[in-house]
Amino acid sequence: MNKALLALIVAPFFVFSAANAVANDATDASAETIQEFTEMCVSWAKEDDVSNEELYNYVLKCVNDELTSEGYNKVTAVKI
C-alpha cells in the first residue's frame, strides 16, 4: 500500500519533468532565418506605420514570435 501511495505522489513530478524536457527541444535558428524574419518584420512595421523610436522593439518581438512559432529559440537582439 505504501509503494502505491508513493507512486501516486511521485508520478506527477515525472510527467512534469518529461513534458518540460520535450518543451525545451527548440533549436537555434540559422542567421539566414533570423535575417529573413527581420526583413519581413521591418516590412510589416512600415505597413503598420511604426515610429523609428518603436521600430527596434517591434521588430525584436515580431522576430521572436515568428521564431517560436517555427520551433526555434528566441533571440536577444536583431540587426535592422
The tens digit of pLDDT for each residue in 18-51 reads 445 555 688 999 999 999 999 999 999 999 999 9
Whole-structure pTM value: 0.70
* 3-state SS record for the chain: CHHHHHHHHHHHHHHHHHHHHHHCCCECCCHHHHHHHHHHHHHHHHHCCCCHHHHHHHHHHHHHHHHHHCCECCCCCCCC
40 located within any domain: yes
| Structural domains of the chain, count | 1
Residue 29: give the domain boundaries. 2-69
| Per-residue model confidence (pLDDT) at position 29 | 97
Cα–Cα dist 58/34, whole Å: 15
78 located within any domain: no
22 located within any domain: yes
75 located within any domain: no
Question: Cell numbers of 23, please?
Answer: 518543451
74 located within any domain: no
